[in-house]
Structure 1
């Protein structure tokens, strides 16, 4: 016997009521909701046929809910177990590239070319620790209860609460520099700390393990994050190092003099060849781009530029 329109309408009303019960399962108490549905069905004046049909509808609707609830519970428990373990991530800025990133606490970091930063997937405990190789500029979210630490080696780290600062710690340099733009930082060496104030630079000499503080032009030390190079009475050797890093080229100096030429200039969109032509006005030099030959493994080496300083 086919159900009439009235029966179909009541089926739909029953199905909607059952579905509303399922949506309202705040405590996932399926048994209690099922009993409510049975009482609702029993209170009607329809025949036994309607009851059986409604129960079948309930079974169809409840079964996916039971299965999905079980799956979600399993995933939730699994996530709770995974949250107990903190994984570490590492961001590497390729040669010739400046990388901007955001840490789990919303602090921002710029990584200079050839630099890397290792940090946890989430900060736990009372400290926020990251590990820098190379150069990074940090905008740290203020949190006095959970200080922020940048470690550059086993003996040296920089502590900040809410600060903007730059750390230059390339492994091939004989020094480590920390430049403070705003706020306060402590440069910690072997459990001894030195407090930096804005527009100060902490200079650590690896050769004699001495730490000194001096005033500095902050823009000169941090302009790289905006794609600019600023040199203020900078030695030609240092200029060449920064150009090599910025443009991802090998620059080889051939010196015939011990004169320490200094450079004062600012660059942003200039090409490496334009900058080298400018340097010819600063010092008696000539330069040439070496021919690049394919290697045996079919790759090409980095571009090389030779500079002859008279």
Structure 2
């Protein structure tokens, strides 16, 4: 609700005209229960709506000044209080009046709704956004978006990890907002975003993006081949050394003269396994290196090939694997 304030006013308008969906009614109720100030604002806007006379068909004509006089009489504050309230709510009231000026407007705006897609069935999911941008969600990721612009911006909300290929539209900036309040502003084309509780990591495949917080003048610009991290008091950009940052999307794992000590964490991330190295084998594992590529292979097949190449043993118990001499 905070991220799409006009969406809130649309819900109020639809509620007042009896066109709210069940989900919208629930969202409005949560907003009303959040604070007494929200309930006061709704009451004032509802009064303005109710006191606006209906005319032919579904069209309405509004006399805001007359409606405000009736609202003033109903709430009976002091004159200075009237001016304060009028200043505070006039803009919102104007929006409500515009939103409800005719049933045709609400019908044409009915497509401007917040949508949500989750990759929660153990598979990656892809979707094309209304602006023709392509998004691929990693398992467990979730995206929210609207069919339109918010203040001339294309805004999506992301939880988890996703790969973006953003359609060029310089007149409408593309922003990705995360639960940890970081913001990724797209200046180029393709990149991954991985959100966490306290941090966000971005790796740019091509083009450039800006990583920081909303309105942050210290945000970093990331270009193709760079990785940036925001959170936990850090904000930096470095060259990306991870060839497998989109392996979850392509199914291809590549290792170029990397030690077993470096390879195994990447396998653990890719296959969602707990892969550990026996303490007695850690020094040897840090010295054993491999240059090898795997394409859409099972974890067992990959470990078996590495075993033949490097000569270790492994024991698997469910999602837990131990590597040893």
The TM-score with structure 2 as length reference comes to 0.56
5 Å matches for 1:122-201? 122-171=148-197, 176-189=200-213, 191=216, 192-201=218-227
Specify the SS of the correspondent of 1:220: coil
**CA offset at residue 96 of structure 1?**
4.1
Give the match's secondary structure for 1:221.
coil
Matched, 1:256 2:282: no
RMSD: 3.1
Aligned CA distance change for structure 1 residues 181 and 255 (closer, same or farther; 3 Å): same
> For the Cα contact (< 8 Å) 2:255–2:263, is it kept in 1?
no
Secondary structure at the counterpart of residue 278 of structure 1? helix
Offset at residue 186 of structure 1 (A): 0.8
Decide whether the 8 Å contact of 1:143 with 1:161 is kept in 2.
Answer: no
**How big is the shift at 1:217?**
5.1
Quick one: distance in 2 between partners of 1:181 and 1:238? 22
Q: Of 292, 304, 309, which residue of structure 2 is paired with 1:277? A: 304
Looking at CA atoms only, which structure, 1 or 2, has the larger radius of gyration? 1
* CA distance 1:114–1:170, change in 2 (3 Å): farther
The residue aligned with 2:233 is 209
Provide the rounded CA distance (Å) in 2 between the counterparts of 1:111 and 1:99: 5
Tell me the SS of whatever aligns to 2:301: helix
Measure how far apart 1:127 and its partner are.
Answer: 1.0
Give 1:16-165 correspondences, 5 Å limit. Answer: 78=103, 80-84=105-109, 86-94=112-120, 96-165=122-191
Cα distance in 2 for residues equivalent to 1:264 and 1:113 = 28
Equivalent in the alignment of 1:239: 266
Deviation, 1:105, is 0.7
Does the 8 A contact of 2:176 with 2:185 survive in 1?
yes
Deviation at 1:238, TM superposition (A): 2.1
SS at match of 2:270: helix
Stretches of structure 1 that go unaligned for 5 or more consecutive residues are 1-69, 71-76, 291-302
Structure 1 distance, partners of 2:235, 2:311, is 32
Equivalent residue of 1:224, what SS? helix
Return the offset for 1:189: 3.5
Q: Distance in 2 between matches of 1:227 and 1:275?
A: 12
Q: Which has the higher contact order (CA 8 A, sep 6+)?
A: 1
| SS of aligned partner of 2:160 | strand
Q: 1:113, 1:275 → 2: CA distance?
A: 21
Tell me the TM-score normalized by structure 1.
Answer: 0.59
Change (3 A) 1:283 1:114: farther
Give a deviation string over 1:138-192, Cα, whole Å, max 9, x none.
1111111210011223431110144111112255xx8632112222211123613
Q: Following TM superposition, by how much is the alpha carbon of 1:223 offset from its aligned partner in structure 2, in angstroms?
A: 4.0
